[in-house]
Amino acid sequence: MTDNPQPRGGTLRREDPLLDIENLRVSFGALDAVAGVDLAVSAGEVVGLIGPNGAGKTSFLDGVSGIVRATGRVVLAGREISSLPPYARVGAGLSRTFQTSEVVHDLTIAEIIGLIAPWWRKNPLDVDSPGKELLNRVVEELRLSQVLDRTLVEVTSGIRRCVGVAAAVATQPVAILFDEPAAGLTAEEKDELTRIIRFLGEYGLGVLVVDHNVGFIANACDYVHMMHLGKVVFSGLPDEMFSSHVVDEFYLAGSAGEQ
C-alpha cells in the first residue's frame, strides 16, 4: 500500500448505526462553524471526513466529543450522550485523538498508556483480556513496543502521533474519532496507520477519520463525507470522491487535499 490514491469499494450500512449524529450545530457568536450536520457510523465501518481548512471538521469532532457546546443529538450504541461532559462520553465508549499531542513529555510511552489503562500497566505485552489484546495489537503494529521506555521528547513527531492513536484505543472505546492522524507521518507510518484503522473497523469499532490526505482517506475508509462552510456537501464511496465535481471544485482543484 502506498500514499497514492487506491480507491476502495464497499457497502454503506445505515441500519441501526453505532454512532448516530443528528443536526449537530456548533456556533461561535454569529458564526455557525457546523451548520446542522447529520452523520452516522456503523459498527465495523470506517468513515472519512474531508474538507478545506475552515470547513468545520475539527469543530464537528469537538461538538461530538463534548469539548465545545453543540446542539443536536449524539447517540452512541443506542444511548444518547448529547448532554454528557467529555469524560463521561469517553466512559460511554467514545474516544478521539487530537491534532497536537498535549501530554506530559517527561513520561515514558508505557507510562502514558498506563495512565489511561492501569489494567495494561503490569506486563503490558501479555494478553489476558480482549481489550488488552486489541491495545497490544495496536502497540505492536505501530512499532511502539520498541520505544515503550522512551519519553515523548526522545521520539519523532510521527511516533508521538502514533502514541495518541494507542491512547485512544486504551480507553476501550466502541467508536473512535481521529483528527488528522496521518499529519507528519512518513509513507511507511501512514501504511501502518492505515492497517490499524482498517483493523479497528474489522474488530467491530465504528471509526470516523478526519484528514487532508485524500489518498490516505481512500485507502483507509469505506465511505467519505466532505464538509464545506460547516455543511456536508458530498457523501459517497472513496472512488466517487475522485470523480465528484463538488469535491473537485471546493477541495481538490485548489490543492487543499494532499494526494
* Helical pair 130-141 and 187-203, crossing angle rounded to 10 deg: 160
**Residue 117: pLDDT over 50:** yes
Range in 100-109, 119-128, 166-175 the model is least confident about: 119-128
How many Å apart are CA 112 and CA 94, to the nearest integer? Answer: 19
**Residue 16: pLDDT over 80:** no
How many Å apart are CA 2 and CA 186, to the nearest integer? Answer: 11
What are the start-end ranges of the E strands in the chain? 19-28, 31-41, 46-50, 71-76, 79-80, 94-96, 175-179, 206-210, 223-228, 231-236
Give the pLDDT of residue 12: 41
Nearest to 36 by CA among 70, 80, 81: 70
Q: Give phi and psi for 221, each to the nearest 5.
A: -110, 150
> What domains, with CATH codes, occur in the chain?
7-93+174-259 (3.40.50.300), 102-172 (no CATH)
Using CA atoms, how far residue 43 sits from 20, 83, 109, in Å, is 11, 23, 29
**Residue 6: pLDDT over 70:** no
How many Å apart are CA 94 and CA 167, to the nearest integer? Answer: 13
223 Cβ contact list (under 8 Å, min separation 6): 10, 12, 45, 46, 47, 48, 235, 236, 237, 238
pTM of the model: 0.87
Average of per-residue pLDDT across 203-222: 94
User: Residue 118, by phi and psi: left (phi above 0), alpha (psi -120 to 50) or beta?
Assistant: alpha
Contact between residue 155 and residue 75 where contact means Cβ atoms under 8 Å apart = no
**Residue 5: pLDDT over 90:** no
Range in 3-7, 22-26, 189-193, 248-252 the model is least confident about: 3-7
Q: 232: pLDDT confidence band, cut at 50, 70 and 90?
A: very high
Q: Are strands 46-50 and 223-228 parallel, antiparallel or unpaired?
A: parallel
Using CA atoms, how far residue 54 sits from 36, 89, 248, in Å, is 16, 25, 17
Give the pLDDT of residue 142: 87
Give the pLDDT of residue 258: 58
Site of grid cell 457523501: 235
Give the pLDDT of residue 87: 95
Contact between residue 211 and residue 51 where contact means Cβ atoms under 8 Å apart = no
**Residue 248: pLDDT over 60:** yes
Give the pLDDT of residue 3: 43
Tens of pLDDT along 136-178? Answer: 888 988 889 899 999 988 988 888 888 989 999 999 999 999 9
Answer with the residue of higher pLDDT: 49 or 101.
49
Range in 8-17, 38-47, 50-59, 204-213 the model is least confident about: 8-17
Q: Give phi and psi for 105, each to the nearest 5.
A: -75, -15
Question: 47 - beta bridge partners?
Answer: 208, 223
Tens of pLDDT along 41-73? Answer: 999 999 999 999 999 999 999 999 999 999 999
